[in-house]
Amino acid sequence: MKKLWGGRFDGKNEEWIDAFGASISFDQALAKQDIQGSLAHVKMLVHTQIISKEEGQTIIDGLIKVQEKLTNNELIFTVQNEDIHLNIETFLHEEIGPVAGKLHTARSRNDQVATDMHLYLKEKVEGIIEKIIEFREVLVEKAEENIETIMPGYTHLQHAQPISFGHHLMAYYQMLTRDQERMEENLPRIDRSPLGAAALAGTTFPIDRKFSAKELGFSSIYENSLDAVSDRDFILEFLSNSSILMMHLSRFCEELILWCSHEFQFVQLSDTFSTGSSIMPQKKNPDMAELIRGKTGRVYGDLIGLLTVTKGLPLAYNKDFQEDKEGMFDTVETVEKSLAIMAGMIATMQVNKEHMLESTEKDFSNATELADYLATKGIPFREAHEIVGKLVLSCIQNGNYLQDIPLKEYQEIVPVVEEDLYDKLSSYTAVKNRHSLGGTGFDQVKHQIEQAKKALN
C-alpha cells in the first residue's frame, strides 16, 4: 500500500517495523475527534477561500459518510495507514476520490493530533467532573444518615477520640470537592485550539485559526505555533489531578477494607461490590475496593510515564509523543470506572452503628475529655494530661476503663471532680460537645452538610 507521505522514499519498511511505528491500535479512540477536527478545518478552508465551496462541500459530505460508518462500526483500521489521521484520510479518499487530498491543506498531523487530544480530553474531563459530583452527592446523603453515628476517630491507626461517622464521610466529600476544583481548573488549558499551527511554524495559507477554534467550541487558541504542537502540559495536569483523585479514593478504600473485616465489623458492603473465595466458603472479599486501591498505582505510572517521555524533548514535535495517548486513555477509563464503583459502593453500604458506638466505649478515646474536664476545674492542662495518663495506665493494669472508676476514687486524686464527670466521659457527649467550627459536633456536621447541599445545587 502506498503511504500518503511516501513521495520522499524509494525504500520500503518491513511489516514488523511498520507495526512498531504504528499507533492505530490505540489512537483509533480519537476517530470521532479526528473527523470533528477535519470538519472544522475544511469549513475554515472554504471560509478563507483557500478551497472552493464545491470542493469543501464534497469533502464535508465525504467526512459525514465516514462518520456514519464509524458510528455503525463499519470502518476497518489498518496498520499500513499507521495512525487515525491517515486511516480517516484514506476512508475519505475512498468516498470522494482525489479531492480528499485538499483536506490536508494548511494542516499537519502534528497540529491535527494535538487538536484531537484537546477535544477528547475536554469531553472526558467534563464527564469526570459529573461523576465526581455524583459521588459527592452520595457522600452527603450517607453522611446525613449518620450524623449521630459514633465511631472511633484514629491517629496512627490507634483509637484517638470518638467522632461522628457523618463527619468522617464529609472529610472525603471535601477531598472530592478539591478534586473537582482541580479538574475544573484544568479545563481552560484543555479548552485551547492548536489547529492551524501546522507542523511547527504555521502556514503561508491565509487561514483563520479563530474561525476553526470557534467551530470546535474552543474558548481560545495557542498563541505560539511551536508551543501548540509540542505542549502536553494539559495532559500532564490531567494525569496529576487524576493521581491525587485516585489517592483519595485509595485512602477511602483502605478504610473500607479495614471496616468490613471481622476485627472491625463497622460496615458491610453490598454483594454487588464483593466477591467470594474459590476454596473458603465463608469469605466475602471487598475486591472492588482493593482493585481501586491497586489501580491507583497504574494512574501514577501513567503520570510518571508521560513526565519521563517529555522531560528531554527539544521543540517541536517528536515521535516520542506517540507515547502520550495510551496513558491518557488508560487514566480516563480507570478514573471513570473507579468513581462509578465508589458511588455505588458507598450508596449501598450498610453501617453497623451499634458496633461502631460500642468500640468507643471499651477503649480510652475519652481520655482527652477527662483532661479537658479537669482543665475546666482550674487544673493546668499539662498537669491534667499527666493525671489522666496515670489513670489510663492504672485502668490497663486493672482491666477497666475511665468511666468505671468510682467517683470517690477520682475525688481522692482530684477533689474538684463531681458527678457530672461521667456524662462528659460518654462518647455521645464527647462528640456532641465538639462544636468548634469544622469540628465533629452534630451541629457542625449538619452545617457542613447544609453547605455541601448548597454547593451541589
State the catalytic residues. 156, 277
Region for residue 198 given its phi and psi (left: phi exceeds 0; alpha: psi -120 to 50; beta: otherwise): left
Q: Yes or no: say if 442 and 148 are a contact pair by the CB < 8 Å rule.
A: yes
How far apart (Å, rounded) are the C-alpha atoms in residues 41 and 19?
Answer: 29
How many CB atoms neighbour CB 370 within 10 A?
26
Q: Render 264-313 in DSSP notation, one character per residue.
A: T--EE--GGG-B--SS-TT--B-HHHHHHHHHHHHHHHHHHHHHHHHTTP
- Looking only at the bridges linking them, the beta strands covering 192-193 and 220-221 are parallel
| 3-state DSSP assignment of residue 54 | helix
What CA–CA distances, in Å, run from 181 to 128, 185, 330, 331?
12, 6, 22, 18
**Residues present in the chain in total:** 457
In this structure, is the dihedral angle defined by the CA atoms of residues 396, 398, 404 and 410, taken in order, positive or negative?
negative
Neighbouring-strand partners of residue 221: 193
How far apart (Å, rounded) are the C-alpha atoms in residues 210 and 216?
Answer: 10
Q: Yes or no: say if 293 and 260 are a contact pair by the CB < 8 Å rule.
A: no
How far apart (Å, rounded) are the C-alpha atoms in residues 275 and 271?
Answer: 7
Could you give the angle at the alpha carbon of 112 between the alpha carbons of 106 and 114, nearest 5°?
Answer: 135
Please name the residue that has the C-alpha cell 489547529: 195
Query: Which of the 8 DSSP states describes residue 221?
Result: E
How far apart (Å, rounded) are the C-alpha atoms in residues 216 and 235?
Answer: 19
Residue 316, preceding peptide bond in cis (omega within 30° of 0): yes
How far apart (Å, rounded) are the C-alpha atoms in residues 93 and 332?
Answer: 32
Neighbouring-strand partners of residue 268: 350
Can you give the C-alpha Rg of the chain in angstroms? 31
How far apart (Å, rounded) are the C-alpha atoms in residues 267 and 259?
Answer: 6
Q: Which helix or strand (DSSP H or E) is residue 88 part of? A: helix 84-96
